[in-house]
Amino acid sequence: MGRVRGFILSHLGKQYLLIFLPFFSILSIVYIIRISILSQKISLNAGEFLTLFGFFLPDILFYTLPLSFIAAVTVTLTKLSEDNELIALFSFGLTPTRLLRIFTLPALLFASLMLILSLHTIPQSTTAYTLFKSKKTDEARLNIAPNRLGQKFGDYIIFLGDKQGEDYHDIVLFTTDDKEKQVLIIANKGEIEHNNSQFSLNLYQGTGDTFLPNRVESISYTQLRIYNYARHAVNTTWLNRGWSHIGTSRSDMALFVYNIFLSLSPLLVLGILIAFSVINPRYQKPRTYLVSFTMIVTIYLAASLLRKEGTPLLLLAISLFFLGSSILFFSKKAKADF
* 1 compared with 310, residue with greater pLDDT: 310
Band (265; pLDDT cuts 50, 70, 90): very high
pLDDT value for 220: 92
pLDDT value for 108: 94
pLDDT value for 180: 77
Model confidence, pTM: 0.73
Do the beta carbons of residue 71 and residue 266 sit within 8 Å? no
What is the rounded CA–CA span in Å between residue 129 and residue 249?
22
Amino acid (1-letter code) at residue 60: I
- When pLDDT is averaged across residues 308-316 and rounded to a whole number, the result is 90
pLDDT value for 233: 46
pLDDT value for 338: 52
pLDDT value for 152: 76
Band (232; pLDDT cuts 50, 70, 90): very low
pLDDT of residue 259 exceeding 70: yes
Least confident of 92-96, 127-131, 151-155, 196-200: 196-200
Least confident of 153-167, 244-258, 274-288: 274-288
pLDDT value for 197: 57
- Using CB atoms within 10 A of its CB, is residue 2 exposed (0-12), middle (13-18) or buried (19+)? exposed
- When pLDDT is averaged across residues 18-29 and rounded to a whole number, the result is 94
Query: Three-class SS of residue 332?
Result: helix
pLDDT of residue 266 exceeding 50: yes
- When pLDDT is averaged across residues 325-329 and rounded to a whole number, the result is 91
pLDDT of residue 304 exceeding 80: yes
The strand pairing partners of 217, in sequence order, are: 210
Do the beta carbons of residue 266 and residue 70 sit within 8 Å? yes
pLDDT value for 128: 86
What is the residue-averaged pLDDT of the chain? 84
pLDDT per residue as tens digits for the range 152-198: 777 788 888 888 877 888 899 888 777 778 889 999 998 887 766 56
pLDDT per residue as tens digits for the range 74-91: 999 988 888 888 878 887
Do the beta carbons of residue 25 and residue 19 sit within 8 Å? no
* 282 compared with 69, residue with greater pLDDT: 69
Q: Which strands sit side by side in the sheet containing 151-153, from one edge to the other?
A: 151-153, 156-164, 167-174, 182-195, 198-211, 216-229
The strand pairing partners of 219, in sequence order, are: 208
- When pLDDT is averaged across residues 298-308 and rounded to a whole number, the result is 92
- When pLDDT is averaged across residues 55-64 and rounded to a whole number, the result is 93
pLDDT of residue 283 exceeding 80: no
The contacts of residue 188 (CB under 8 Å, 6+ apart) are 169, 170, 171, 204, 205, 206
Q: Would you tell me the crossing angle of helices 46-82 and 270-277 to the nearest 10 degrees?
A: 50
